[in-house]
Amino acid sequence: MAISVSVTKESGNLENPGMFSPTTRTMHFAVDYCDEATKRTSVQDVLDDMMTAGWAIAVGRPLGMPPNGVGVYDSFEWGYPANRTSLESTTVPFVVQSLSGELDKSSNEIWRIRVVISLMIRNITPGDFEGRNHSAVSITAESRGVRAYRTNATLPTLTWNSGTNRFTNTWIDCGDNDISGDSLDINGEPLTMPIEQTSIVLSFVIREPFYSLYSSLTRTVDAMWTTWGKNPSSHVNKRNSESLFGYAAGRLVVTSVSVTPIDMEFRRVNVTLVDDEWLHFDQMPWSTAGVIPELDVNCSIPLTPPNLAVWHAKYVLWVTPIFDGFSWSQTDFPDDVWTFFTSAVTIS
């Protein structure tokens, strides 16, 4: 079999759409069967012949080229992936996303094959300024409705216990734990009140398990997929165990982690942190056996009709179910992402 495989000029085009989009290149091949008597009837037949000539093409794997079929075409097919950490410095090949082909009807027996390859890359030129990695921050001021018995109450103190890896319950110890402040409830019924929250969404890119070469027999599982992709629920309902982005320990709680597809392999991660005016606590009146709160009258005038006796909960406590914590560092995120989050979110 005598065939000629040529890479046409259009293959030099490269498209980088911007943030949270893969960089793509469409490879154009002209496969000339040089007037062979045997005609090819399908694209798969042509791809098989290209494989024999050293061009290895399979969706979901890097594009292989002669002589061994496991390399790549040229430097445009290599890049620093968006999921790499600051500890990693190697480039990786682009991956075949799709392919198509047809017989060139104006020729004797030339097939046109198009192969789309892509990679979520961070623009880095050795010795030059580094481009920004795929990342974004969204900050929203919102409110949470609470059942308030007191206003201007003394907030609880959050103390991280590194021995138990939990926040120590210092706000209820069978002592005088009343939260003080000004009463709002009427006869033990709390007032529904909005309190302030700040929601911070941190967005970045990870890569699910992938084939590092065309000939790879197993998929590579990198650090970012292990940290964020395998078990996102492990981060939820935890407080920052140390100061983070200028917020004191315990103020920020991870309320959600979503991992959504960008393309065949790369995923966008959105991590939501929430700061709460009440430190994610609620107010609860002390009661005997959980039945009727002890009430304290708050009227000094004679209680004769039409004057009313207004009662308030005598003791009010802070309560929360969130005791676990988390601690993040630069290596828990792709390269450049932590630096960007720190500059974008940190409060003074």
**Consecutive 10-residue runs of the chain (348 residues): their mean pLDDT?**
81 85 92 78 89 87 71 56 79 90 85 93 65 92 96 94 90 86 91 97 96 88 94 95 96 97 96 98 84 69 69 91 95 93 94
Q: Is residue 192 part of a domain?
A: yes
| Domain limit, last residue, from 69, 96, 122 | 122
Q: Does residue 231 sit in the same domain as residue 326?
A: yes
Return the exposure string of 182-221: e unless at least 16 CB atoms fall within 10 Å of the residue's CB, then b: ebbbeebebeeeeeebbbbbbbbbbbbebbbbbeeeeeee
- How much is the pLDDT for 124? 55
Q: Is residue 129 part of a domain?
A: no
User: What is the CA 172 to chain-centroid distance, rounded?
Assistant: 35
- How much is the pLDDT for 214? 84
End-to-end CA distance of the chain: 72
- How much is the pLDDT for 146? 97
Q: Does residue 216 sit in the same domain as residue 163?
A: yes
Q: Does residue 99 sit in the same domain as residue 148?
A: no
* Pairing between β-strand 239-240 and β-strand 325-326 as defined by DSSP bridges: parallel
- Burial class from Cβ neighbours inside 10 Å (0-12, 13-18, 19+) for residue 135 reads buried
CA distances from 246 to 75, 211, 271 (A): 42, 40, 18
- How much is the pLDDT for 120? 92
Q: Does residue 291 sit in the same domain as residue 320?
A: yes
Q: Does residue 190 sit in the same domain as residue 339?
A: yes
CA atoms lying within 13 Å on the CB side of residue 152: 4
- How much is the pLDDT for 71? 45
Q: Does residue 259 sit in the same domain as residue 116?
A: no
Q: Is residue 280 part of a domain?
A: yes
Q: Does residue 176 sit in the same domain as residue 85?
A: no
Q: Does residue 77 sit in the same domain as residue 19?
A: yes
d(CA 269, CA 122): 16
Q: Which two tokens stand for residue 47?
A: 């791809």
Q: Is residue 216 part of a domain?
A: yes
Q: Is residue 131 part of a domain?
A: no
Q: Does residue 118 sit in the same domain as residue 145?
A: no
Closest CA to 73 of 27, 104, 118: 27
Place of tokens 């320990």: 249
Do 117 and 97 contact (CB within 8 A), yes or no?
A: yes
Do 276 and 142 contact (CB within 8 A), yes or no?
A: no
Report the predicted TM-score, pTM, of the whole model to 2 decimal places: 0.88
Q: Does residue 182 sit in the same domain as residue 78?
A: no
Domain that holds residue 36: 4-122
- How much is the pLDDT for 41? 82
- How much is the pLDDT for 298? 67
- How much is the pLDDT for 291? 64
For residue 38, the 8-state DSSP code is S
Instruction: Collect all residues with Cβ–Cβ distance below 8 Å to 280 and sequence separation of at least 6.
Output: 239, 253, 274, 320, 322
- Omega before residue 66 within 30° of 0, cis: no
d(CA 122, CA 169): 44
Q: Does residue 115 sit in the same domain as residue 175?
A: no
- Omega before residue 67 within 30° of 0, cis: yes
Q: Does residue 116 sit in the same domain as residue 162?
A: no
d(CA 38, CA 52): 16
Q: Which two tokens stand for residue 62?
A: 């890097």
